[in-house]
Structure 1
C-alpha cells in the first residue's frame, strides 16, 4: 500500500514521533511518499536517515491509498486541499494543540498503523462548503472543510450582509462578519461566536453572525441542500472572505454564494474514536469542582 505524509511545520520535539511513524509504516511494508512541504521540514532537521519518495503532482496523489496529516487541525485542513476531489482518506496525527480533527495522539502511532494495516478503521464522509462567484478565487481551491466567512477589513465600522436562502430573503446582518459552517466547522470559529454544536453526520449548515449589532439575531441551521447567497455593504471598498485558514479580499460588487460541495473530505477513524468523547475531552465538559 502507498501512504502520503503531509506536514507544514515540524518542531524538533516531535521529530522522534515522526521517526516512530516511519518505523511503524516500514514494519508493515507501506510505500512512503511525502509532500514537498513535509520534505522541506524533514530536510530542515537533517532528514535523520528516513527513506521516502517525493510526491509530485496530482497523478502521484491519485495512486495513494491514504494520507497522514502530521500536525494540528490546521495542517489537516491543508491536507484536505492537497487531496481535493480525489477523496483520498486522511488520518490526522496530532502534534498540534486542540486536535478536534487530528485525533491520533503521538503515543498511539504504532497502534494506529496496526489498525490501518489490518483495515480496522472506518471512513467518515465530511461535508465541504463550496464557494461560487464569477471571479476565480483561492486559485480554484474554492472549498473548505470548516467554514466560509465574510469579515470586515481595515475599519472599525460594521458591515451589512444581506443573506438569501435559495433566493429567498433571510436577513440583513449588521455585524463584524458572517460565518457559514459545516457540521465539522461547528466546533471552530462558529462555536466561538455562539453557534451550536452539530454532529458530523448531520445534513446541515449553520449561519452564525460575528458580533452582531442586534442582540436578538441568533445563529440559524439550514439544510445543506440550500444555496446561500450574499450581498455585502459597508463604508470600506474591500472586504475579507475566507475558506478555513485561507483569506482574500474582494470588492462589494462581487456576488457570492455557497452550497455543499459535490465531493467529501474522507476522514479515517480508528476503533477507539468517538465524536462525543472528543467533545467532552476537548471542551472540558464535566471539569467542575462539584463533580
Structure 2
C-alpha cells in the first residue's frame, strides 16, 4: 500500500506528530508520498531530511497513493476530499483540531492506526455526496458537497425568500436567513447548529434545514436520498450566496434555479477497530456525561 499524506500546514501542532509518522514509515520500509506543501514544511523545519522530502513530494495526492492521511480537523478533511476530486481513494482523518466528527482518529493514536492499516484491520465507509447545477452563471466554486449545500443571505440585513420544489411538487417557500441541504455526514455540521436532526451515516437521506425561519412552524424535514430538489431565491434587493461545504459563491441575480441531487460518486472514509458513530457522538457531544456539582 502507498500512503499519501496531506494536512493543514497552518496548524503549529501538525509538524511533530507528522514527522514521527514519516520516520516510522521510513523505518518500516513502507511506501508513502507527501503532498508538496507538507514536504516543504517538514524540510523547512529540519524535521525530515530535505532530500527525502523532495523524493517523496507530489503535487497531486489524488493519483499518487492507495490511502490518504489527512492531518487537521473536519475542515481539512473536507478540503482533502475536494482536492482529490471524485475518486474512490479512502481518506483517514487525523484530528488535531477541536471537534472532529469526520477526522475522528486522535493524533496520539496515529501509530495504532498504522498498525491496523498494515494488518488490513479496517473498514471503508461510503458517504453519500450531493451535486448541484444551476441554470445561470456564475459558476460554482465547487459543484458537489460532502456535508451540505446552503443558500444563505450574504450578510445584509433582511431575510430571503426561497422556493423549494421536490420531484416536481412544491414543498414550501421559506422566509428565512437561508436553507441548508445536508447529507447524513453533514447532519452533525451546519445543519445541527441550526436545529437539524442527527442522521446516522448509513441512512440514505437528505435533510432540509431552514436557518432562522420567520415562521416557527417551519421545521427541518428528512427526504429520501434519490429526490431532486430545486430551489430559487425569489426577487429582493440583496445578494445571496450558494455555498458548498463552506465554499461560497455570490449571486446578484434572482430566480436562478439550483438543482440538487445525489452525486454519482461517494467519499470513502477509513474506519478503524473501535470506531463507531455512536462512540463519536458520546465523546464529542458528551452524551451520557453527568455533571458533578460537588454536592
Normalising by structure 2, we get a TM-score of 0.91
**Offset from partner CA, 1:172-217 (integer Å, 9 cap, x none):** 0000000001000000110011100000000000000000000000
Give the drift of 1:27: 3.7
Give the drift of 1:287: 2.1
Residue of structure 1 in register with 2:280 after alignment: 278
Q: 1:268 aligns with which of 267, 270, 283?
A: 270
Residue of structure 1 in register with 2:243 after alignment: 242
3-state SS in 1 of match to 2:62: helix
Work out the CA distance in 2 between the residues paired with 1:5 and 1:80.
Answer: 13
Give the drift of 1:35: 2.1
Counterparts in 2 of 1:36 and 1:137: CA distance versus 1, 3 Å? farther
Residue of structure 1 in register with 2:88 after alignment: 87
Give the drift of 1:43: 4.7
Work out the CA distance in 2 between the residues paired with 1:158 and 1:136.
Answer: 22
Work out the CA distance in 1 between the residues paired with 2:222 and 2:40.
Answer: 42
Residue of structure 2 in register with 1:29 after alignment: 29
Instruction: Mark the runs of 5 or more structure 2 residues left unpaired by the alignment.
Output: none
3-state SS in 2 of match to 1:114: helix
Over aligned residues, Cα RMSD in angstroms? 1.9
Checking the alignment, whether the CA contact within 8 Å between 1:10 and 1:71 is kept in structure 2 is no
Counterparts in 2 of 1:233 and 1:91: CA distance versus 1, 3 Å? same
3-state SS in 2 of match to 1:34: strand
Checking the alignment, whether the CA contact within 8 Å between 1:65 and 1:88 is kept in structure 2 is yes
Residue of structure 2 in register with 1:38 after alignment: 38
Work out the CA distance in 1 between the residues paired with 2:139 and 2:28.
Answer: 41
Residue of structure 1 in register with 2:124 after alignment: 123
Work out the CA distance in 2 between the residues paired with 1:148 and 1:159.
Answer: 16
Give the drift of 1:133: 1.6
Give the drift of 1:66: 0.7
3-state SS in 2 of match to 1:131: strand
3-state SS in 2 of match to 1:61: coil
Checking the alignment, whether the CA contact within 8 Å between 2:185 and 2:201 is kept in structure 1 is yes
Work out the CA distance in 2 between the residues paired with 1:77 and 1:236.
Answer: 33
Normalising by structure 1, we get a TM-score of 0.93
Checking the alignment, whether the CA contact within 8 Å between 2:4 and 2:67 is kept in structure 1 is yes
Give the drift of 1:237: 4.2
Give the alignment of 1:1-291 within 5 angstroms. 1-43=1-43, 45-49=45-49, 51-52=52-53, 53-57=56-60, 61-134=62-135, 135=137, 137-139=139-141, 141-250=142-251, 251-289=253-291
Answer with 43-52 or 115-124: which moved more.
43-52
Give the drift of 1:44: 5.0
Checking the alignment, whether the CA contact within 8 Å between 1:24 and 1:109 is kept in structure 2 is no
Instruction: Mark the runs of 5 or more structure 1 residues left unpaired by the alignment.
Output: none
Work out the CA distance in 1 between the residues paired with 2:266 and 2:28.
Answer: 28
**Offset from partner CA, 1:199-258 (integer Å, 9 cap, x none):** 000000000000000000000000110011111025334211111121110222422111
Give the drift of 1:101: 0.6
Work out the CA distance in 1 between the residues paired with 2:178 and 2:79.
Answer: 23
Give the drift of 1:36: 3.1
Give the drift of 1:136: 6.1
Counterparts in 2 of 1:92 and 1:182: CA distance versus 1, 3 Å? same
The alignment covers a number of residue pairs equal to: 288
